Amino acid sequence: MRFDWDQLIRYSPDLLQAFGVTILISALSLLIGIVIGMFACLGKLQQRGLAFRLANGFIDFFRTIPEVVLIFWVYSCLPLLLSVRISSEACGVIALSLFSAAYLAEIFRAGILAVPKGQVDAAKALAIPRYHIWKRIIIPPAIRRMMPAFINFLTELLKATSLLSAIAVGEMAYTASILGAQTLSYFEFLSAIAVLYFVLIFPFSLMARRAERKLLKKTGH
């Protein structure tokens, strides 16, 4: 067989648009996930009580069920339960936001718990108010410590967007399957998006590894 570049070039605008959809959905889910994830993280840091149990249950549930099941549940059950129409794109964003929130909550928590206890002790001993302890003593080092895991999660999120093709969201994997079926040039289109995904995801993997090495050097372990 020969590689049919013409087909690829002819449909490149569609692929490009799909690339945009992938990025847009990832970005939206990430933003919403960060907000919900922060609340879940705060809840879990309580260690006991109602807030803790709610946050813990939320995190456990959405980390444990497969992303595909979550996506299908949101797509086929949520509109029925709320008796509203929800577009498949919105369903995708809702599902991936919940998925992100659960993972990010654990990543945030690990970062915060990695801040040495002595730093907080010293701040308390200086009578620094709680707000300033969080803002200046806990959060800056916590962000540095959570960076590798956070970037790594970005790669997972980008990969997870491909699952939205199951509910006909026009992102890369879906577009390529449709184009492949229409033109019977599966090999060209599927290879093309495989390369696109790799080009999109690999730099983040490298960044995560670099951040990790830098952190190891800095904290000296």
Partner 1 sequence: MSKYSFPVIVALVLGVVAYFLNWELLLSLDFSVVWEYRVVLLKGLMVTLALTACAAVAGLVCGTMLAIASQTNFAPLRWLVIAFVEIWRNTPLLVQLIWIHFALPLVTGINTTALESGVIGITLQAAAYFTEIVRAGIESVPKGQWEAAYSLALPARIRWTRVILPPAIRTMIPPLVNLTISFFKGTAILSILHVSELMTVTNRISNVTFKPVELFSAIALIYFVVGIVMSKATLRLEYVLQNRER
Partner 2 sequence: MQTSNHINESFIACRSVSKFFGTFKALDDVTIDIKQGEIVCIVGPSGSGKSTFLRVLNALETIDNGEIIINKVRLPGDQKDVEEVRREVGMVFQQFNLFEHMSIRENVTFAPRVSRAVATKDADELAETLLKRVGIIEQIEKYPNHLSGGQQQRVAIARALAMKPQAMLFDEPTSALDPEMVVEVLDVMRELAHSGMTMIIVTHEMGFAKEAASRMLFMSAGKFLVDMSTEQFFCDRDHPELRRFMSNIL
Binding residues (CB under 8 A) for partner 2: these are 116, 118-119, 121-130, 132, 136-137, 140-141, 144
Least distance from partner 1 to the Cβ atom of residue 162, Å: 4
Q: At closest approach, how far in Å is the CB of 49 from partner 1?
A: 8
**Residue 46 — φ and ψ, nearest 5°?**
-65, -30
Nearest to 160 by CA among 80, 63, 87: 63
Cα separation, 172 vs 135, in Å, equals 40
Give the whole-angstrom CA distance, residue 77 versus residue 66. Answer: 16
DSSP state of 127: T
CB of 140 to partner 1, least distance (A): 25
Separation in Å, CA 73 to CA 67, 91, 113, 189: 10, 9, 33, 29
Q: Does 130 bind partner 1 (CB under 8 A)?
A: no
What's the sign of the alpha-carbon dihedral 31, 65, 151, 41?
A: positive
| N residues, the chain | 221
127 makes contact with partner 1 (CB under 8 A): no
CB 109 within 8 A of CB 41: yes
Shortest distance (Å) from residue 43 CB to partner 2: 21
Residue span 144-183 as binding mask against partner 1, x where in contact by CB under 8 A, dash where not: -----------x--xxxxxx-xx-----xx--xx--x---
186 near partner 1, rule: CB under 8 A: yes
Assess 61 for contact with partner 1 (CB under 8 A): yes
Q: Where are the beta strands (DSSP E) in 43-101?
A: none
| Contact partners, residue 24, CB within 8 Å, separation at least 6 | none
Q: Which stretch binds partner 1 (CB under 8 A): 12-20, 59-67, 89-97, 119-127?
A: 59-67
Q: Which of 12, 76, 87, 182 binds partner 1 (CB under 8 A)?
A: 76
Instruction: Give whichever of 137 and 176 is closer to partner 1, judged by the CB atom.
Output: 176
The answer to whether 56 contacts partner 1 (rule: CB under 8 A) is: no
User: Closest separation between CB of residue 185 and partner 1, Å?
Assistant: 9
Q: Which of partner 1, partner 2, none lies near 82, with the C-beta cut-off 5 to 8 A by kind?
A: partner 1
